[in-house]
Each structure stands twice: as C-alpha cells, then as structure tokens.
Amino acid sequence: MSIEFHDLKTQYRGMRERVAARMQAVLDHGQYIMGPEVAELEARLAAYCGVKHCVGVSDGTMALLVAMMALDLQPGDEVITTPFTFIATGEMIALLRAKPVFVDIDARTWNLDPAAIEAAVTPRTRAVMPVSLYGQCADLEAINAVASRHGLAVIEDGAQSFGATSRGRRSCALSTIGTTSFFPTKPLGCYGDGGACFTDDDALAERMRRIRVHGQSRRYFHPVIGVNGRLDTLQAAVLLAKLETFDDELAQRERIGKRYSERLAGAVRTPQVEPHNRCVYAQYTIEVDDRAAVQEQLKAQGIPTAVHYPVPLNLQPAFAGLGLGEGSFPKAEAAARRVMSLPMHPFLDEATQDRIVAAVRAAVAVKSPA
Ligand SMILES: Cc1ncc(COP(=O)(O)O)c(C=O)c1O
C-alpha cells in the first residue's frame, strides 16, 4: 500500500455529500464572483479566529500583497521577515519595490527570532512579517512588543497555521493583519487557490476589501490602485463544507504530530512546540544529519518525504541583489540543510505511522562505512 503525503482523497470521501450540496447551491444561483458564500465564509472565519474582519482573497500570496498594499507600503520601505519560509513571503515585499530585511530564526522553533528584530530596525522599517511555520505560531507576543516600541505594523503570514493557537488566541488574530492560504494541502484547504486576510482594524479591512477588487469603492469608481484578488464563490462553498469537520481534523493532526514526536524522540530532532502554543502541523518536520540518504531510504520503502525549504530566501537567486550570501543567517541556513517533512494528514493510521517511524529510526541508525 502506497503512503500518501497529504491524503485529500480520504478526506473528500468523508465529506462528498456536504461538498456537493454546497457546490450545487453555487451552480444553482450562478453568482460565481463574490456570491453569498464569500460573505458567509468571511463571517464564519472571522468568528472562528475571534477578529472583527475577514477578507477572502484569491490565494495566500495575494493575501500578503493585499495586506501590504492596505498598509500603503512604499518603494524603499523595509519589512523585517524570516529567510526560512516559502518564497511568497519575501517575494510580495519585493514586488512592491520594498525591501525584505531578513533576520535569523530561533533554531528551536524555526520561526523568526524576536530578539533579532530590534537591531534590524531602521528609519525605513514599516512592518514586521513573521511566518508561523509548519503550523506553529511565531512568538507574536514578543514580536508585537518590539513592533509597538517602534510604531511598526505586524503581518502574521499564517499560510501554514490556520487554526493554530497561541496563548489561547488563534493564528491570524495575533497582529495588525493576519493572512492565510487555502491551498488544497493546507490545514484548511479548498479545491484550487484561496486565501484570506484578517484584522480588527475597520479602516484596514475597508482598504483590503477595495484593493481586492481593483481599488473599487462602487462599480467602476476606483479611489485607489488595487488588483483582481477575489476569492471564488465555489472555493468559499468548499471551505464552508470543510469547516464543519475542521476542528476534528485539527485534533487528529495534533494527536498524530505528538505521537510522531514521542516515537521519534532521541533518534532525530523533532518539532519543539512551545507549551503555550497549539500546533496544527501543516507539516510534520524533523531535522536529520544526512538528509539525502534518509530520504532515499524512505523512498525505497514507498514513504514520501518533502523538504520545506531547501534554500533560504537570502540564498535564492531572485534575492541575490540583496548581497546576503552564505553565512548571513547561520540558523536558517543550517535548518534548510537539515529539515525534512514526513507524511502528515488527519487520516494517517497508527500502523502506517509506526511503519514510517521505524523506517526513519532505521535510516538514521545506518552509519556510512568508515
Ligand atoms: C509561508 C507561506 N506563505 C505564503 C504562501 C502562499 O500561499 P498560496 O500558495 O496560497 O499563494 C505559502 C504557501 O505555501 C506559504 O507556505
């Protein structure tokens, strides 16, 4: 039996009728763009996160762009962020001709190190953009404290952490703006691209609502420059259907993540989840010494793995212009060499998980011949 890395097929089998009914309703009313499901979803997600506003957008990358446009980020402004993330985080800063200012991570959590922020603040700094990597919230409490001392906005890139909590509060509700992605394999995923921005700030919410529809205030009146960044009604319908079992799935993810950590303890570096955080394990990621060899051995046994992410943003050719070569961020660079993610989804049964654990333990125990 082959092992799935993310098992969307099993998930779909359990919610087929619910999804079909929701999608059929859209096909019947025909409002494919900004239909009623979008507003319904926004209200549900805002309540879920405990924030005043949710603005559905076309994907998690767009959510970052819309958030920064709403903050009126200007060319040359600086945004402090982590180099250990998916390209979109730094990419959207650069797209606005602003400057991503990378600071190193906390090697324990793989998230932006709040202690490194202060030294990176300059008169051009406008915002801090932590990423809640692999499903664990970044230390927003500490980050917000530094940001408020310097009058900076904080955008949590919660693309991987929707549903996670920190000190009892939800990811995406922990900062000036929170953003997320509903890419199919995210903890809450739709059947295509989707994303959302969250804020308690009425004025920012209004700006984000306009920006996602070409900066429009009413039809064909455009007070500001915007984008086509709307969330499809059909995707909102899918998400409404999936929300019904989302909390059960999160409980399964958490149980499976903890079980991995218990069984892999001592063999590999397992995720360090802070006691005040609840991680949604968008990925279950470990650190190993000889990653390529471990991956190879698992692959030979039909166990898929992935690397999130093999190259930190400072070493991506797209950011070569920043001149931040090897050695600029030792912790992020070490993590990029060592991390690998194991199959993780709410339907991973214990026997399969035990097989994966045994294979990892065996692979790391194999010493290369002297
Ligand atoms: C940290 C992070 N930010 C942003 C994104 C972009 O989301 P999307 O693929 O929905 O545009 C992703 C997606 O993988 C992500 O992991």
Q: In the predicted model, what is the mean pLDDT of residues 282-292?
A: 98
- Regarding the beta carbon of 59 and ligand 1, being less than 6 Å apart is answered yes
How confident is the model over 267-289, as a mean pLDDT? 98
Q: Look up residue 33 and give its DSSP letter.
A: B
- Sort strands 165-166 and 53-57 into parallel, antiparallel or unpaired: unpaired
| DSSP string for residues in 148-161 | HHHT-EEEEE-TTT
Please state the atom number of ligand 1 nearest to the C-alpha of residue 193: 10
What is the torsion angle, in degrees rounded to the nearest 10, for the CA atoms of residue 291, residue 297, residue 301 and residue 306? 20
pLDDT digits (tens, 9 = 90+) for 202-223: 999 999 999 999 999 999 999 9
- Percentage of residues in the chain having pLDDT higher than 70: 99
Backbone angle region of 116, left / alpha / beta, with phi > 0 → left and psi within -120 to 50 → alpha: alpha
Ligand 1 in contact with 101 (CB < 6 A)?
A: no
Judge whether residue 302 has pLDDT over 60.
Answer: yes
Residue with tokens 């218990």: 262
Neighbours of 338 (CB within 10 A): 17
- Residues belonging to the chain: 370
pLDDT at 370 over 50: no
β-strands 153-157, 177-181 pairing: parallel
Q: What is the pLDDT of residues 92-132, one digit of tens each?
A: 999 999 999 999 999 999 999 999 999 999 999 999 999 99
Mean pLDDT to the nearest integer, 168-188: 98
Instruction: Grade residue 193 by pLDDT with cuts at 50, 70 and 90.
Output: very high
Mind listing the pLDDT tens digit for each residue in 72-89?
Answer: 999 999 999 999 999 999
**Dist. CA 217–CA 210, nearest whole Å:** 6
Res. 368: pLDDT tops 60:
no
314: nearest Cα among 82, 80, 107 = 82
Cα(161) to centroid(ligand 1), Å: 11
Supply the pLDDT for residue 367.
56
The encoded tokens of residue 71 equal 């903050």
Could you tell me where the DSSP H helices lie in 71-212?
87-95, 140-150, 202-211
Q: Tell me, in angstroms, the distance from the centre of ligand 1 to residue 62's CA.
A: 9
* pLDDT > 90: percent of the chain: 98
Burial label for 370, CB within 10 Å (0-12, 13-18, 19+), is: exposed
pLDDT of residue 135: 98
Query: Would you state the pLDDT for residue 141?
Result: 98
Model confidence band, residue 296 (pLDDT cutoffs 50, 70, 90): very high
Taking alpha carbons only, the member of 75, 69, 89 closest to residue 229 is 69
Regarding the beta carbon of 82 and ligand 1, being less than 6 Å apart is answered: no
Average per-residue pLDDT in the chain?
97
Task: Report the pLDDT averaged over residues 264-278.
Answer: 97
Task: Please tell me the predicted confidence (pLDDT) of residue 2.
Answer: 85
| Ligand 1 pocket, mutate which of 6, 58, 61 (most atoms under 8 A from CB) | 61
How close is the Cα of 220 to the center of ligand 1, in Å? 31
Q: What is the pLDDT of residues 128-151, one digit of tens each?
A: 999 999 999 999 999 999 999 999
